């Protein structure tokens, strides 16, 4: 059994390691669950805060504004006040905090090495850290913000979640997402489309951690391109059959040329940077919170050979990578699925707070 070597700065409690022994892939036709999702409801109390509206509150709890008005006898939904308490009916167990406060945040220090052509504006856009924060956390920038030098190391303070928010419901290919968390730009990766980058805290947190570790290990390397996760409420996301419940993410491969390929480029042995891609794949595997990783079978061979050269045994590899046991072998986490020669697809496990998640 693999053990994590890197220390997480946040822990999402009581995660359910429900690895399913089924053979459907991310591109397979939707399957109906034989297990019924609970329809039990509970009433929570929400305290209105500055900037709230009934529509905004309804969206965050995946309910209708009309229902909130009915539950609270509101004759005019535009007239709510700060501190007012509202009753909201939600699926039982779907809400971790009912105080109206946002999820707790942990701040992590991450290093960024200045590259040729960088300036503070470009670094801010790359990492999601404001120019003001960059100056605050790097005293040398306060005096000479325009005198960056290639190879200079900057300290970034990156936010992490430590609460379980974002509820995955149903199947990855027949489900939904409530209170989804958006993946914001950060070290080591590019977010292609914010509107399609929502997930659970587990999904978003692990992506941020893996990419942060990658950026520290390879500070001058190209960034990964983060493709689709889910929409804010989940559900069907064209052209995917999966990506419906906040537990899936598409990630570009790193190219040997060291050019960034956020729009996905088909890879071969001659173009795939085995070492850098394996670093992130291995990171995900060691968390033991990954259900599947979909990678083209031909590319699996190169990862298998590289991992074996680094000391992994056949017994370990048989649980990790489908190759060389054939595309119909369903014991490993890394599996073949058509269309994954230009990116890999990670599906994370369900959390204990997820509703009827499979």
CATH code of the domain in which 206 resides: 3.30.1380.10
- Residue 81 maps to a domain: yes
- Residue 3 maps to a domain: no
119 & 211 share domain? no
288 & 197 share domain? yes
Q: List pLDDT tens digits, range 34-56.
A: 334 445 677 888 888 877 889 88
- Residue 120 maps to a domain: yes
pLDDT band at 9 (very low <50, low <70, confident <90, very high): very low
pLDDT of residue 198: 94
Looking at per-residue pLDDT, the higher value among 281 and 112 belongs to 281
pLDDT of residue 291: 93
pLDDT of residue 324: 96
Q: Is the pLDDT of residue 234 over 50?
A: yes
pLDDT of residue 10: 35
Structure tokens belonging to residue 6: 């890197």
141 & 227 share domain? no
217 & 333 share domain? yes
By residue range, what is the domain housing residue 47? Answer: 41-91
Q: How far apart are the first and last CA of the chain?
A: 23
Residue 72: CB partners within 8 Å, gap ≥ 6? 86, 87
> φ and ψ at 127, to 5 degrees?
-100, -15
Q: Is the pLDDT of residue 306 over 50?
A: yes
174 & 320 share domain? yes
212 & 329 share domain? yes
Q: How many domains does the chain have?
A: 3
146 & 256 share domain? no
143 & 177 share domain? no
53 & 147 share domain? no
- Residue 6 maps to a domain: no
Q: What are the CB-based long-range contacts (under 8 Å, 24+) for 280-285?
A: 280/210, 280/211, 280/214, 280/224, 280/251, 281/334, 281/344, 282/307, 283/6, 283/209, 283/210, 283/213, 283/214, 284/206, 284/210, 284/346, 285/2, 285/320, 285/333, 285/334
pLDDT of residue 308: 96
Burial (CB < 10 A; 0-12, 13-18, 19+), residue 318, is: middle
Task: List, in sequence order, every beta strand (DSSP E) within 131-260.
Answer: 153-161, 167-171, 174-178, 181-182, 189-191, 198-199, 224-226, 248-252
Angstrom distance (rounded) from CA 234 to CA 59:
12
Q: What share of the chain is helix, strand, coil (3-state, %, to 5)?
A: 25, 20, 55
pLDDT of residue 268: 96
pLDDT of residue 31: 41
Q: List pLDDT tens digits, range 312-323.
A: 999 999 999 999
Confirm whether pTM is higher than 0.95.
Answer: no
Find residue 153's DSSP bridge partners.
Answer: 113
- Residue 129 maps to a domain: yes
- Residue 333 maps to a domain: yes
- Residue 236 maps to a domain: yes
Domain of residue 68, CATH code = 3.10.350.10
Percent of the chain with pLDDT over 90: 43
Q: List pLDDT tens digits, range 64-76.
A: 888 898 899 888 8
> Under a CB-based contact definition with an 8 Å cutoff, are residues 243 and 228 in contact?
yes
Place of tokens 């480029």: 265
113 & 168 share domain? no
- Residue 16 maps to a domain: no
283 & 135 share domain? no
146 & 257 share domain? no
pLDDT band at 60 (very low <50, low <70, confident <90, very high): confident
pLDDT of residue 160: 54
């Amino acid at each position: 059994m693999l053990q994590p070597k890197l220390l997480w700065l946040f822990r999402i409690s009581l995660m359910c390691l429900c690895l399913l022994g089924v053979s459907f892939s991310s591109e397979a036709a939707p399957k109906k669950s034989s297990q019924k999702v609970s329809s039990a409801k509970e009433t929570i109390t929400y305290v209105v805060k500055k900037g709230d509206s009934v529509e905004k509150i309804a969206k965050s709890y995946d309910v209708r504004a009309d229902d909130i008005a009915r539950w609270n006898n509101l004759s005019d939904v535009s007239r709510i006040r700060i501190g007012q308490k509202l009753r909201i009916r939600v699926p039982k167990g779907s809400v971790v905090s009912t105080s109206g406060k946002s999820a707790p945040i942990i701040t992590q220090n991450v290093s960024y090495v200045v590259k040729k052509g960088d300036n503070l504006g470009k670094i801010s856009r790359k990492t999601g850290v404001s120019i003001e924060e960059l100056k605050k956390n790097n005293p040398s920038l306060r005096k000479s913000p325009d005198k960056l030098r290639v190879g200079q190391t900057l300290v970034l303070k990156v936010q992490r979640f430590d609460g379980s928010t974002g509820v995955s419901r149903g199947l990855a290919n027949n489900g939904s997402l409530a209170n989804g968390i958006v993946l914001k730009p950060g070290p080591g990766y590019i977010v292609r489309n914010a509107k399609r980058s929502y997930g659970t805290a587990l999904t978003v947190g692990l992506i941020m951690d893996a990419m942060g570790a990658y950026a520290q290990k390879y500070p001058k390397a190209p960034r990964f391109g983060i493709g689709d996760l889910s929409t804010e409420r989940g559900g069907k996301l064209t052209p995917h059959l999966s990506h419906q419940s906040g537990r899936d993410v598409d990630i570009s491969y790193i190219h040997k040329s060291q050019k960034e390929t956020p729009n996905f480029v088909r890879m071969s042995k001659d173009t795939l940077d085995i070492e850098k891609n394996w670093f992130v794949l291995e990171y995900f595997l060691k968390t033991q919170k990954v259900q599947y990783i979909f990678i083209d079978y031909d590319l699996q061979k190169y990862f298998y050979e590289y991992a074996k050269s680094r000391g992994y045994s056949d017994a370990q590899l048989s649980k990790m990578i489908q190759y060389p046991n054939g595309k119909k072998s369903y014991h490993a986490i890394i599996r073949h699925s058509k269309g994954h020669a230009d990116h890999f697809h990670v599906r994370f496990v369900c959390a204990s707070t997820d509703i009827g998640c499979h």
